Amino acid sequence: MNVKTSIIALLLAAASLPCVAQDAKKDASKVEPTKIELPSDNIINHFRSRNSGTAVVEWYEFSDGKNKYVTGYYSTNGDNHKVVYRNGAYYCTETEVPVEFCPAKIKAAVDTLAPGLKLKELYYEYTYRAQGYRAVMQKGRGKKAQVRDLMFDIKGSFMREENPAKVIRGF
């Protein structure tokens, strides 16, 4: 009986190993950004050339396995901004927009495209090539919350939905 019990216990332990490995992979994909003192000189020089009046910037670093992101959070004239660099090159800048100032066309589209979800955050996003809005809708709280990110062009027309897991959160 002891040998049979031992074999069953070993088989159960071996069967649980792939689950543990999968959980480790899931946790590795949810790596939180790490605060850093300063990014590379290239990033600092680019940032200063575009934001000469900025005094305090909090820098964070994040890697998704393929790309390395450096994100800076700062405020100017009461507006909160986030600048993102991907692999050392400028990627985008976001400015937080108070929800009460959401353009009417976006508000109407959000109500239609995401029924049951509430507009929680709105960002004006711009890059060298494009500009527009990112609307974040949410239902519920915590890890079980349903979150959707909808992208709109500068005129308020719906463009696409972003995968919320791939968006660098902040503010």
CB atoms within 10 A of CB 75: 14
Domain around 149: 98-171
Q: Where are the alpha helices (DSSP H) in 62-144?
A: 104-113
| Beta pairing partners, 149 | 136, 162
pLDDT digits (tens, 9 = 90+) for 90-143: 999 999 999 999 999 998 888 888 888 889 999 999 888 889 999 998 888 777
| Residue 2 pLDDT exceeds 60 | no
- Looking at residue 86, what is its pLDDT? 93
| Residue 168 pLDDT exceeds 70 | no
Highest mean pLDDT among 1-10, 27-36, 46-55, 154-163: 154-163
> Same domain for 19 and 48?
no
| Residue 5 pLDDT exceeds 90 | no
> Same domain for 123 and 62?
no
- Looking at residue 27, what is its pLDDT? 41
Smallest CA-to-CA distance from 168 within 57, 77, 34 is with: 34
CATH of residue 144's domain is 3.10.450
Q: How far apart are CA 84 and CA 91, in angstroms?
A: 5
> Same domain for 106 and 165?
yes
- Looking at residue 161, what is its pLDDT? 86
pLDDT digits (tens, 9 = 90+) for 47-81: 988 887 667 899 999 888 889 999 999 988 888 99
Q: What's the domain count of the chain?
A: 3
**Among candidate residues 44, 74, 93, the one where a domain is terminated:** 93
Q: Which two tokens stand for residue 142?
A: 């915590």
Which of the pair, 38 or 143, is modelled with greater confidence? 38
- Looking at residue 78, what is its pLDDT? 84
The answer to whether 164 touches 147, Cβ cutoff 8 Å, is yes
- Looking at residue 31, what is its pLDDT? 60
Which of the pair, 167 or 147, is modelled with greater confidence? 147
- Residue 71 makes CB contacts below 8 A (sequence gap 6+) with 33, 59, 60, 61, 62, 82, 83, 84, 85, 168, 170
Q: Which two tokens stand for residue 35?
A: 């605060």
> Same domain for 11 and 37?
no
Q: How far apart are CA 137 and CA 115, in angstroms?
A: 10
